[in-house]
């Protein structure tokens, strides 16, 4: 059977930058979150006891976070994407984000835009960062 056959532990999930399936893991991250949604239009008529719906477009977005290491090549590429003279470059192909579900080749991937970066230094703690992104187009699930 392809893919994992038991639950996945969060410690093996990672965020990578680069071509899906062969990108470079972004070091010092501590988790990601991805949300997928579907627009649904109400097409109910008067006199009905139950609502009817019509599916629309799907979309996805998310975030990832970690400890800031601005000298890390992948972290710097993410920061440069939005902290730039012309922010809003699509992360696609060799610059795409992918989200590893385990270390055997299962992952989520798709084109996206960085929509926000937050850096949080705290006395007595490592400097933290978080990145928000908006998917554009299909979010693909690859199961090896």
Domain ranges of the chain: 13-36+55-142
Its pTM stands at: 0.89
CATH T-level topology, domain 13-36+55-142: Elongation Factor Tu (Ef-tu); domain 3 (2.40.30)
Structure tokens at 113: 């835009």
Q: How many CA atoms are closer than 13 Å to the CA of 115, on its beta-carbon side? A: 12
- Taking only the tens place, the pLDDT of each residue in 39-69 is 999 999 999 999 999 999 999 999 999 999 9
- Taking only the tens place, the pLDDT of each residue in 19-43 is 998 999 999 999 999 999 999 999 9
Element (H, E) at 80: helix 73-82
């Amino acid at each position: 059977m392809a893919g994992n056959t038991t639950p996945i532990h969060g410690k093996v999930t990672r965020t990578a930058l680069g071509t899906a399936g062969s990108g470079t893991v972004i070091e010092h991250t501590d988790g990601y979150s991805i949300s997928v949604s579907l627009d649904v239009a109400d097409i109910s008529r008067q006199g009905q006891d139950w609502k009817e719906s019509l599916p629309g477009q799907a979309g996805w977005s998310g975030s990832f976070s970690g400890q800031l290491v601005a000298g890390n090549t992948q972290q710097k590429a993410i920061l440069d994407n939005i902290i730039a003279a012309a922010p809003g470059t699509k992360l696609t192909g060799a610059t795409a984000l992918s989200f590893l579900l385990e270390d055997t080749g299962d992952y989520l991937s798709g084109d996206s835009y960085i929509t926000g970066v937050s850096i949080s230094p705290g006395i007595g703690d490592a400097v933290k960062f978080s990145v928000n992104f908006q998917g554009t187009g299909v979010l693909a699930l690859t199961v090896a």
